[in-house]
Amino acid sequence: MERMSTPEKILVPLAPGFEEIEFVTIVDVLRRADLDVTVASLQPGSVRGSHGIEIAPDAALGDLDTSVFTLIVLPGGQPGTRNLAADGRVLALVRRLASAGAGASRTRTAAICAAPVVLHAAGILRGVEVTAHPSVHKELVDATVNTESRVVRSGSVCTSQGAGTALEFALALVAELKGAARAAELRAAMRA
């Protein structure tokens, strides 16, 4: 008998100063793939991005049972990344998922643009290959920074370079979680 896998529960935390293109692209593509995505603000209420666009989250992080989440996806942007990195709840969840994902065949922590800094702040990047926005490469001192690849998966960590790679990053997550055929279907539908 084939064993059924537990559906992923994905958290996308939203902090003031997030990068709008990254956030919207990631959440949109993951939801198009019928993945269970919850957008949570660090504080109750809407959140303003780095370019002035306000987003209403599904919930405030403090109102959620974070133990149910199996994957965290961190959008970049400034000061959004710094705000995420300063939040102990986000860092604790990153650590828990990284620990649970040790040796795993699936991504448990994902970050784009400057957000790999959050993974660094959580202390999970020692010896891990990552990519990120060039503005934060020097901060990722424990990681092996890949400056060429647009999306890098290393163990249970997946990273990407920035707003221009957001669609590729989101589709890579879909390919991993729902299969290459589903990602190709979405890519074709969006003419990506």
Q: What is the pLDDT of residues 116-171, one digit of tens each?
A: 999 999 999 999 999 999 999 999 999 999 999 999 999 999 999 999 999 999 99
- pTM, rounded to two decimals: 0.95
44 lies in a domain? yes
57 lies in a domain? yes
| Degrees to nearest 5, angle at CA 152 with 184 and 118 | 120
Average pLDDT, the chain: 94
pLDDT of residue 5: 55
129: domain range?
9-185
| Degrees to nearest 5, angle at CA 97 with 62 and 145 | 115
- Annotated catalytic residue, options 113, 157, 171, 173: 113
Here the CATH number for the domain that contains residue 138 is: 3.40.50.880
Range from 1-5, 6-10, 106-110, 161-165 that averages highest in pLDDT: 161-165
pLDDT of 3 above 60: no
Average pLDDT of the residues in 13-38 = 98
190 lies in a domain? no
In degrees and rounded to multiples of 5, residue 131 shows phi and psi of -130, 165
Active-site annotation holds for 158:
no
Calpha distance 114→105 (Å, rounded): 24
pLDDT of 94 above 50: yes
The total number of structural domains that make up the chain: 1
